[in-house]
Structure 1
Amino acid sequence: MLSAKQIEEFKERLLKEKDKTESNIENRETDYDEGALSSYDNHPGDSGDELFLRERDQAITDLETDMLSDVDLALKAIEEGTYGICKVCGKEIELERLDIIPETLLCIDDAKEEAEKNSLNEQQRPVEEDVLDPSVTATGKDIDGDTDGFSKVSDFGNSDSPSDNEDGIDTTRS
């Protein structure tokens, strides 16, 4: 069980992390408020770089927003007196785990289970595959074991010239 002193230390760390993360998000947002009025004189590559940087910063902001949510939940748990207790199984969260990830509300076992569930959800196939020909498998061969459609079509002819053959012999004429 965590002592009152330990809980107070974790609360201070969480509050510092919250302030730092909020400041990072705010600074990142103000960096893009200033910009050129027109992109007329910019090279297209510069516009691509700018787009990439904005998307990267947005991804970082999204991660930090999730982190803020976790920190807020941990601070709420401190106020409710449930900090340091796994919200799934009710066991004590290891002190070493809290020291590394003070915003966690799960013990290591339940965190692993949640991560496995999330990874299974990410392994679902794309919805576009629902409209694909069901006779074609992931190997590129159809049910009969034939090769893909391109190979079937190339059996009827292609644009290879005699120089593309190993012998240099024109096989297109009979």
Structure 2
Amino acid sequence: MLSEKQIETFKTRLLKEKEKTETNIENRELDYDTGELSNYDNHPGDSGDELFLRERDQAMTDMQEDMLSDVDLALQAIDNGTYGVCKVCGKEIELDRLDIIPETLLCIEHAKEEAEREGNDPMSRPSEEDVLDPSVTATGKDIDGTTDGFSKVSEFGNSDTPSDKEDGIDPTR
């Protein structure tokens, strides 16, 4: 069970995190006015950069709003006297876990389950691996070392012209 001093320490940390996150959100909400009346004479790359920056900032704002929500819930748990107790199983959350993630309301087991349910499991493998041929190693060669990836792809055709042939003659003629 957490002592009053520990709870007060966590509350102070959470309040600081809340203030910092709110300040970051406010500072991020900038107007992206480019000063241009028309995009007619702008290079498409400039517009792409601008779009990328807006999307990046929006994603960061979304993450910070999620963090702010978690901090508010943790502060509410402190007020309710349930801070430091897993909201799923009712067991005490490890002190080391609270020290690292003071806004957590879940023990490590239930946090893992929630991450798996939401598809955010840090231990999961990338979805691309589901369609990769397991016989191909990271070097692009088969396990026996005979065929590289380019050779496999070139079986479907390539951009060689007759002048690219060894003797300069197109064998299809």
TM-score above 0.5: yes
Letter in 2 for 1:36: G
Q: 1:160 to 1:92 in 2, by over 3 A?
A: closer
Cα deviation, residue 3, structure 1: 0.8
What is the identity percentage for the equivalent residue pairs of Structure 1 and Structure 2?
A: 70
Q: Counterpart amino acid of 1:75?
A: L
**Which secondary structure state, in structure 2, belongs to the residue aligned with residue 62 of structure 1?**
helix
Cα distance in 2, alignment partners of residues 161 and 79 from structure 1: 75
The structure-2 alpha-carbon separation of the partners of 1:93 and 1:36, relative to structure 1 and needing over 3 Å to count, comes to same
Counterpart in the other structure of 1:14: 14
Residue 35 of structure 1 and its aligned partner are, at CA, apart by: 4.5
Supply the AA of the counterpart residue of 2:65: T
Structure 1 pair 48/85, CA: closer, same or farther in 2 (3 Å)? same
Structure 1 unaligned regions, length at least 5: 126-136, 140-146
Structure 1 residue aligned with 2:118: 118
Residue 79 of structure 2 is aligned to residue 67 of structure 1: no
Cα distance change, pair 99–124 in 1 and its aligned pair in 2 (3 A): closer
Residue matched to 2:145: none
Taking the aligned partners of 1:111 and 1:15, their CA distance within structure 2 comes to: 23
Looking at structure 2, the residues matched to 37 and 104 of structure 1 have their Cα atoms a distance apart, in angstroms, of 45
Give the greater-gyration-radius structure (CA). Answer: 1
CA RMSD, Structure 1 to Structure 2 (Å):
3.2
Equivalent-residue separation in structure 2 for 1:159 and 1:12 (angstroms): 65
Q: State yes or no: 1:97 paired with 2:97.
A: yes
Q: For residues 86 and 6 of structure 1, what CA distance do their matches in structure 2 show?
A: 17
Task: Go from structure 1 to structure 2 and tell me whether the alpha carbon gap of 1:159 and 1:111 turns closer, same or farther (over 3 Å shift).
Answer: closer
TM-score in terms of structure 2 length: 0.70
1:43 Cα deviation after fit: 3.8
Q: What CA distance in whole angstroms lies between the structure 1 residues aligned with 2:38 and 2:14?
A: 42
Q: What code does the residue aligned with 2:31 have? A: Y
Matched, 1:3 2:3: yes
Deviations 1:78-126 (A, max 9, x none): 111110001122111111111111000111122122223333899898x
Distance 1:101 1:168 in 2: 67
How many residues get paired?
149
1:170 to 1:6, Cα distance in 2 relative to 1, 3 A:
closer
- Closer/same/farther in 2, CA of residues 124 and 34 from structure 1, 3 Å limit: closer
**Shift, 1:9, TM fit:** 1.5
